[in-house]
């Protein structure tokens, strides 16, 4: 039993840092001696493997991140501790009064005596009195203390990079213990003969069930619905760029442009908004405007993926304006960062071909085909290069390697007819 528990604790800790909070919950369980009476004498031996795993984890963390724990900023430590009841109240609100749920961003209130802060302290006092009243019920004590302790990582005592102080997804682990408390309350309510308590329980079950169904079935079931819900219902600026992308995919270029502009206005430090807006502008034939927009984003901090997309889009902007030399330079830099993108090799070959450098165009396609030997898009590009070179026989031979059922989808049938007619004229 101990071996299995230790193994799963190790897996939990290595999977998510939140797993560390399982140890104090196990200690509470041991101390409260749920079920049969147990002696404290063997506690150290029982928990020694768990403490060793925790020490090993922090050793690994130190070697990877350079710190044992997230640094605490001493200057605002008092503020972080003072506002714990405020954050606790917010988390309890999400659990017991779930309405208008969305991807919100919560900050500290504007003052130390804000009504929500006072409400948080009243809530803590009420929980304290309730806990004292239920002090003889060990199951309640275990669930309540474990819930509170498991919330410590999300009470902002240790500073994080999260933009919000509260998030629904942070409750997945603490909800294990809250579910125990809720189950105990339901059990007591079902035993009670009062029709009022049963009616209240019935209403809560119907409300929570219906609300969960509506959220997951109609509002959060895919990105399109989620972005529309966040922007239209809550005017959440964080998702303007996402909604713009959805509108662009739907063919609503005007709507997409409106939301891309809003996304850049409210989140000017997000390079994805510039990159994706530039792609839309090029689709609309406005390559010069796209290039100007990308130049604005040049110095923003980007991930590797974003930098690759930025370089490719900048290369495409130069390509659309006929500056094939600069287009080739940008796309080659993108490939140097990530050569596992098929479209980069296709774009590079196209730029080489239009600049008249057919050997490099062919070489680029061949490098791509070495990775994606069955790529119809790359083969089609090579066929076009052969046609431009008037190498019709090679073009026809390559077309024959493409499955005929794919010809119409990729426009190969038109290329085939055109190549045959020009080959005969030759």
State the residue for tokens 């619905």.
225
Pair of tokens at residue 39: 């002696």
Task: Give the domain-ending residue among 69, 97, 123.
Answer: 69
The Cα–Cα gap between 12 and 14 comes to: 6
Residues 77 and 63 in one domain: no
161 in a domain, yes or no? yes
Query: What secondary structure letter does DSSP report for 411?
Result: T
220 in a domain, yes or no? no
Query: What secondary structure letter does DSSP report for 165?
Result: S
Residues 170 and 85 in one domain: yes
Mean pLDDT of the chain: 87
39 in a domain, yes or no? yes
Residues 138 and 37 in one domain: no
20 in a domain, yes or no? yes
Per-residue pLDDT tens digits for 235-292: 999 999 999 999 999 999 999 999 999 999 999 999 999 999 999 999 999 999 999 9
* Least trusted range by pLDDT, from 8-17, 60-69, 162-171: 60-69
Look up the domain containing 414 and give its range.
Answer: 364-426
Task: Give the domain-ending residue among 19, 44, 69.
Answer: 69
Q: What is the pLDDT of residue 159?
A: 74
Q: What is the pLDDT of residue 75?
A: 56
Pair of tokens at residue 119: 């409400």
State the residue for tokens 């689709």.
283
Q: State the total domains in the chain.
A: 3
> What is the percent of the chain where pLDDT is above 90?
45
* Least trusted range by pLDDT, from 9-18, 193-202, 247-256, 259-268: 193-202
106 in a domain, yes or no? yes
Mean pLDDT of 43-50: 79
Per-residue pLDDT tens digits for 360-405: 999 999 999 999 988 999 999 999 999 889 888 888 888 888 888 8
pLDDT at 74 over 70: no
pLDDT at 198 over 80: no
Task: Give the domain-ending residue among 173, 194, 215.
Answer: 194
Mean pLDDT of 30-54: 72
35 in a domain, yes or no? yes
Residues 61 and 90 in one domain: no
Pair of tokens at residue 216: 């997951």
389 in a domain, yes or no? yes
Alpha helix (H) ranges present in 134-169?
Answer: 138-150
Residues 87 and 161 in one domain: yes
Alpha helix (H) ranges present in 215-356?
Answer: 223-228, 234, 240-249, 253-266, 271-283, 287-296, 304-320, 324-337, 342-354
Residues 130 and 48 in one domain: no
Say if CB 303 and CB 281 are below 8 A apart: no
Query: Nearest 5°: CA angle at 175, between 170 and 181?
Result: 155
The Cα–Cα gap between 331 and 84 comes to: 50
The Cα–Cα gap between 332 and 350 comes to: 12
Measured in Å, how far apart are the chain's first and last C-alpha atoms?
Answer: 82
Q: How confident is the model at residue 332 (pLDDT cuts 50, 70, 90)?
A: very high
Residues 99 and 59 in one domain: no
* Least trusted range by pLDDT, from 6-15, 158-167, 402-411: 158-167
Residues 39 and 149 in one domain: no
Say if CB 146 and CB 153 are below 8 A apart: no
250 in a domain, yes or no? no
Mean pLDDT of 283-306: 94
Per-residue pLDDT tens digits for 280-290: 999 999 999 99
> What is the percent of the chain where pLDDT is above 70?
94
The Cα–Cα gap between 196 and 295 comes to: 66
The Cα–Cα gap between 21 and 147 comes to: 10
Q: What is the pLDDT of residue 147?
A: 94
Residues 115 and 189 in one domain: yes
The Cα–Cα gap between 347 and 343 comes to: 6
The three-class DSSP label of residue 23 is helix
Q: How confident is the model at residue 43 (pLDDT cuts 50, 70, 90)?
A: low
| Contact partners, residue 239, CB within 8 Å, separation at least 6 | 103, 226, 227, 230, 231
Alpha helix (H) ranges present in 16-42?
Answer: 22-32
Pair of tokens at residue 185: 């309350």
Residues 77 and 148 in one domain: yes
pLDDT at 37 over 60: no
Residues 52 and 129 in one domain: no
Pair of tokens at residue 170: 């942070």
Residues 172 and 88 in one domain: yes
């Amino acid at each position: 039993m101990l071996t299995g528990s230790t193994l799963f604790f190790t897996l939990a800790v290595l999977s998510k840092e939140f797993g560390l909070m399982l140890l104090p919950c196990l200690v509470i369980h041991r101390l409260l001696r749920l079920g049969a009476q147990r002696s404290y004498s063997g506690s150290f031996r029982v928990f020694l493997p768990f403490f060793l795993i925790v020490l090993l984890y922090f050793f690994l963390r130190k070697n990877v991140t350079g710190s044992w724990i997230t640094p605490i900023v001493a200057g605002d430590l008092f503020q972080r501790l003072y506002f714990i009841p405020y954050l606790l109240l917010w988390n309890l609100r999400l659990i017991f009064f779930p309405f208008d749920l969305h991807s919100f961003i919560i900050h500290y209130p504007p003052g130390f005596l804000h009504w929500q802060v006072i409400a948080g302290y009243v809530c803590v006092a009420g929980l304290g009195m309730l806990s004292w009243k239920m002090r003889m019920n060990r199951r309640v004590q275990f669930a309540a203390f474990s819930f509170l302790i498991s919330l410590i990582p999300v009470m902002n005592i240790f500073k994080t990079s999260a933009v919000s102080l509260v998030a629904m997804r942070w409750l997945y682990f603490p909800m294990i213990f809250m579910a125990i408390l809720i189950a105990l309350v339901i059990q007591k309510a079902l035993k009670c003969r009062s029709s009022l308590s049963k009616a209240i329980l019935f209403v809560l079950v119907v409300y929570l069930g219906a609300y969960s169904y509506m959220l997951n079935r109609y509002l959060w079931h895919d990105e399109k619905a989620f972005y529309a819900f966040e922007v239209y219902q809550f005017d959440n600026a964080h998702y303007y760029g996402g909604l713009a992308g959805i509108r662009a995919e739907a063919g609503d270029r005007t709507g997409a442009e409106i939301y891309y502009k809003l996304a850049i206005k409210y989140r000017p430090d997000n390079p994805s908004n510039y990159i994706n807006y530039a792609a839309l502008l090029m689709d609309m034939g406005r390559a010069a405007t796209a290039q100007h927009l990308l130049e604005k984003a040049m110095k923003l901090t980007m991930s590797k993926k974003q930098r690759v997309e930025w370089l490719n889009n900048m290369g495409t902007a130069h390509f659309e304006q006929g500056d094939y030399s600069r287009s080739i330079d940008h796309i080659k830099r993108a490939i140097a960062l990530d050569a596992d993108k098929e479209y980069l090799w296709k774009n590079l070959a196209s730029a080489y071909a239009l600049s008249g450098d057919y050997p490099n165009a062919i070489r680029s396609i061949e490098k791509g085909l070495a990775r994606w030997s069955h790529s119809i898009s790359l083969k089609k590009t090579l066929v076009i290069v052969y046609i431009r070179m008037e190498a019709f026989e090679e073009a026809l031979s390559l077309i024959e390697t493409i499955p005929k059922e794919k010809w119409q989808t990729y426009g190969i049938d038109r290329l085939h007819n055109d190549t045959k007619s020009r080959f005969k004229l030759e």
